[in-house]
Each structure stands twice: as structure tokens, then as C-alpha cells.
């Protein structure tokens, strides 16, 4: 019984005189190599050179502070529930009197961790957050040697306290994105239609 129509019978034929010389095959191989010297390189010298990201690129998260410098996160846990990779864990605590400048709400995240090896950068945590606290940015998660070092805590995730060092998320906080968060029927990539990025490019 024939299992496939794509089988090919291999015949061990004698090599011709030219094939026995090997020289044409070597020259042919070298010609292919030389042609590549003059082609545009597909690689870049990362990290000195970096590619331009698509507007929909989602990289390392940031936990934002409000305009007064207080952490916006209220440890509601909605981001963790929305996360399909179960990458987010947190522990909440109650704000003490005098800590109003540190935490915006009465409850805050004492511990907030994202396992970057689990994260698939889908952005669902950002969509789920009712406090405009968590955002994905265009920063790359740097490489590391140990798995434990990919569990990012608040020391790496929370916005710097200095106002001039805050992470800019204005690209992800546009009125279209806010509309998208209210109206889930809009496709996320539809927000960028007509702009430079086209899905699949
Ligand atoms: S981007 Fe997606 S996978 Fe990563 S932490 Fe957020 S919800 Fe989880
Ligand atoms: S980041 Fe947002 S969704 Fe997640 S716990 Fe904080 S406030 Fe809730």
C-alpha cells in the first residue's frame, strides 16, 4: 500500500566528470557567499543598535505613581486574575496614617511580583487594571543567568519617585486606549489602523 504520493525514489547514479572535479560546486558555493557581502544585513549590532518598535509593542511593565508621587496600585488583584500565565502575585497591606504621600488608596501592594519568564506580554493585566496603575512599556526585559532573577518585585516595577525619571506611558494612555478599556468590542490593533504599524508587518 502506498502511504504517500510525495515519496521520491533515490537512484545512486554515477557522478559526471564535472561533478567529480568538485570545482564548479565550490565556485558556486563561493558565489552565493560573495553575493551576501553586498546584500543588506538582516542582523543588527544589538545592543548598540536597536530596532524601532511597532507602536503595539509590549515590553517590561511599570507600576505608575500618580501626579503626587503616590503609588496608584491598590492591590485589588484584578491584574493577577486576568493574567493567563499566572505570572503576577501580590500581598496587600493597609496604609498607615502619614503614608498618604506613598500610597494613593487605603490598601496598597506590600509585595508585587511578576515572573518575567512566565509573562507572555499579552497586556491583559494593563487592560484589567481599574486604577491605571500597571502599563507595559517599550523597555526590554534584560537577559540574566538565574531564574530567580526574573521574578521582578516592586524595586524593579514601580516608577522612580523622582518626577523627572518617571517612565513615559503616554503612548499607552491615549484617549483611544481609554476608550478601548471602556468598550471591549474594539480590537486592540484597530487603535493603530492608519498609523505606521499594520498588523503582521
Ligand atoms: S502581560 Fe499578560 S502574561 Fe504578562 S503579567 Fe500581564 S497579563 Fe500576565
Ligand atoms: S496593578 Fe491595577 S489591577 Fe493590579 S492590583 Fe494594582 S490596581 Fe489592581
pLDDT, tens digit, 9 for 90 and up, residues 115-143: 999 999 999 999 899 999 999 998 999 99
Mean of pLDDT over the chain: 88
More confident residue, 118 or 51: 118
How far apart are the C-alpha atoms of 114 and 122, rounded to whole Å?
Answer: 13
Instruction: Say whether pLDDT at 150 is over 70.
Output: yes
How far apart are the C-alpha atoms of 79 and 125, rounded to whole Å?
Answer: 4
- Report, as an integer, the average pLDDT of 147-165: 95
Percentage of residues of the chain with pLDDT beyond 90 = 64
**Pocket of ligand 1, beta carbon within 6 A:** 82-83, 85, 87-88, 114, 119-125
Instruction: Say whether pLDDT at 92 is over 50.
Output: yes
CA of 153 relative to ligand 1 center, distance in Å: 14
DSSP 64-130: -B-TTS-B------HHHHH-TT--EEEEEEEPPTT-TTTBSSSEEEEEEEEETTT-----HHHHH-T
Task: Identify which of 77, 78, 107 to mutate to test ligand 2's pocket (most ligand atoms within 8 A of the CB).
Answer: 78
Length of the chain: 201
Name the band, by pLDDT with cuts 50, 70 and 90, for residue 193.
Answer: low
User: Could you write out the three-class secondary structure of 133-165?
Assistant: CEEECCCCCCCCCCHHHHEECHHHHECCCCHHH
pLDDT in tens, 2-31: 778 888 888 888 888 988 999 999 999 999
Specify the pTM: 0.74
Amino acid at each position: 500500500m502506498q502511504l504517500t504520493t510525495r515519496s521520491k525514489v533515490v537512484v545512486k547514479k554515477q557522478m559526471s566528470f564535472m561533478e567529480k572535479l568538485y570545482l564548479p560546486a565550490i565556485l558556486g558555493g563561493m558565489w552565493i557567499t560573495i553575493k551576501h557581502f553586498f546584500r543588506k544585513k538582516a542582523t543588527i549590532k544589538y545592543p548598540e543598535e536597536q530596532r524601532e518598535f511597532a507602536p503595539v509593542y509590549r515590553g517590561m511593565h511599570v507600576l505608575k505613581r500618580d501626579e503626587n508621587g503616590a503609588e496608584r496600585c491598590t492591590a485589588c488583584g484584578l491584574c493577577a486574575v486576568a493574567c493567563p500565565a499566572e505570572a503576577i502575585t501580590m500581598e496587600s497591606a493597609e496604609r498607615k496614617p502619614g503614608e498618604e504621600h506613598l500610597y494613593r488608596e487605603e490598601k496598597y501592594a506590600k509585595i508585587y511580583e511578576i515572573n518575567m519568564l512566565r509573562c507572555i506580554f499579552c497586556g491583559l493585566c494593563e487592560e484589567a487594571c481599574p486604577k491605571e496603575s500597571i502599563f507595559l512599556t517599550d523597555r526590554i526585559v534584560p537577559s540574566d543567568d538565574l531564574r530567580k532573577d526574573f521574578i521582578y518585585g516592586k524595586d524593579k516595577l514601580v516608577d522612580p519617585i523622582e518626577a523627572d525619571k518617571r517612565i513615559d506611558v503616554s503612548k499607552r494612555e491615549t484617549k483611544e486606549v481609554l476608550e478601548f478599556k471602556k468598550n471591549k468590542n474594539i480590537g486592540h490593533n484597530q487603535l493603530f489602523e492608519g498609523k505606521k504599524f499594520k498588523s503582521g508587518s
